[in-house]
Amino acid sequence: MDYTGNILAGMIGQWELLVILVIALLIFGKRLPDIARSVGKSLSSFKKGLKDVEDDIDSDVPDSDKKKFENKQKDPE
């Protein structure tokens, strides 16, 4: 089995996660939904900015260079 994709699986158990959530609820209380909404907006804004940068890079690279790079990835000798 390959667990490299889920690093936290072996580090945080169910009880530890429950304790963390209870502490977060006690500390933040009524503000928790607002904080979660703010984090969600920030994450979506970050992803949009990252996509814009990738699109800018893709538009600046000539098609001939893209094909060379794709060929090197297919045939890595």
CA distance 61 to 29: 49
The 3-state DSSP class for residue 47 equals: helix
**pLDDT tens digit sequence for 38-61:** 999 999 999 999 999 988 888 877
CA dihedral 42, 47, 53, 56 (to 10 degrees): -130
pTM value > 0.75: no
Whether the predicted pLDDT of 1 surpasses 50: no
Q: What is the rounded average pLDDT of the residues 26-37?
A: 86
Whether the predicted pLDDT of 31 surpasses 80: yes
- Cα distances from 7 to residues 3, 15, 60, in angstroms, run 7, 17, 36
Contact partners, residue 24, CB within 8 Å, separation at least 6 = 32
**pLDDT tens digit sequence for 6-28:** 555 567 888 998 999 899 888 88
CA distance 10 to 6: 8
